[in-house]
């Protein structure tokens, strides 16, 4: 297990923090190690980064041991990536809030 400190996480470039913080936002019910497609990350972060930047950042994190790229476009956090995600999010998952669905009246 890596020594992922708050200082380490804050020293990461914003694109890495932003990408990793999106995992529980995009899929609050995901299991550790579950991946997201570059396109899903891009959709969530398109106001800040281009698709090419997201792909390159995920590849850089894979080279550094925080991601594993599968099928050429799915970025799966490794144990290190999951530790960084937990430090970024405080280990909390954002609640999913939607209004109740009302079926039509008969």
What's the CATH number where 41 sits?
1.10.10.10
Q: Are strands 74-77 and 67-70 parallel, antiparallel or unpaired?
A: antiparallel
| Domain-located, residue 99 | no
In this predicted model, what pLDDT tens digit does every residue of 25-63 receive, in sequence order? 998 888 888 999 999 999 999 999 999 999 999 999 999
Q: So what's the pLDDT on residue 28?
A: 84
Q: Is residue 2 part of a domain?
A: no
Q: Which residue has the higher pLDDT, 51 or 99?
A: 51
Give the residue among 99, 96, 100 at the shortest CA–CA distance from 28.
Answer: 96
Rounded distance, CA 93 to CA 47, Å? 22
Residue 100 binned pLDDT confidence (cut-offs 50, 70, 90): confident
Tell me which residue range forms the domain holding 51.
Answer: 7-89
pLDDT of residue 10: 94
What token pair was written down for 24?
């529980």
pLDDT range class, residue 94, cuts 50, 70, 90: low
| Residue 102 included in any domain | no
User: How many domains does the chain divide into?
Assistant: 1
Compare 28 and 23 and report the one with higher pLDDT.
23
From residue 91, alpha-carbon distances to 38, 54, 82, 83, 87 in Å are 23, 23, 10, 9, 7
In a domain, 78, yes or no: yes
The predicted model scores a pTM of 0.85
């Amino acid at each position: 297990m890596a020594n992922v400190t708050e200082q380490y996480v804050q020293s990461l470039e914003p694109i890495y923090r932003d990408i990793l913080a999106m995992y529980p936002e995009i899929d609050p019910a995901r299991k550790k190690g579950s991946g997201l497609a570059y396109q899903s990350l891009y959709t969530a972060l398109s106001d800040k980064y281009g698709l090419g930047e997201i792909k390159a950042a995920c590849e850089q994190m894979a080279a550094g041991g925080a991601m594993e790229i599968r099928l050429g476009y799915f970025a799966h956090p490794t144990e290190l990536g999951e530790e960084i995600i937990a430090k970024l999010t405080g280990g909390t998952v954002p609640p999913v809030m939607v209004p109740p669905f009302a079926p039509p009246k008969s």
